[in-house]
Structure 1
Amino acid sequence: MNARYVYTSREFKLFVKEAKQAANDEPVFITNRGEPTHVLLAIHEYRRLQGKELSVADALSRTGIDTNFDYEFPSF
Structure 2
Amino acid sequence: MVSRAAARVALLGGLVAASAPAANAQSLPRLTVESFVLSADTPAPRVDVPFHLILTLRVRERITLIENLNLPMLAELELLG
Larger proportion of helix: 1
Larger RCO, structure (CA 8 Å, separation 6 or more): 2
TM range (shorter): under 0.3
Q: Under a length normalisation based on structure 1, what TM-score does the superposition of the two structures give? A: 0.22
Q: Under a length normalisation based on structure 2, what TM-score does the superposition of the two structures give? A: 0.21
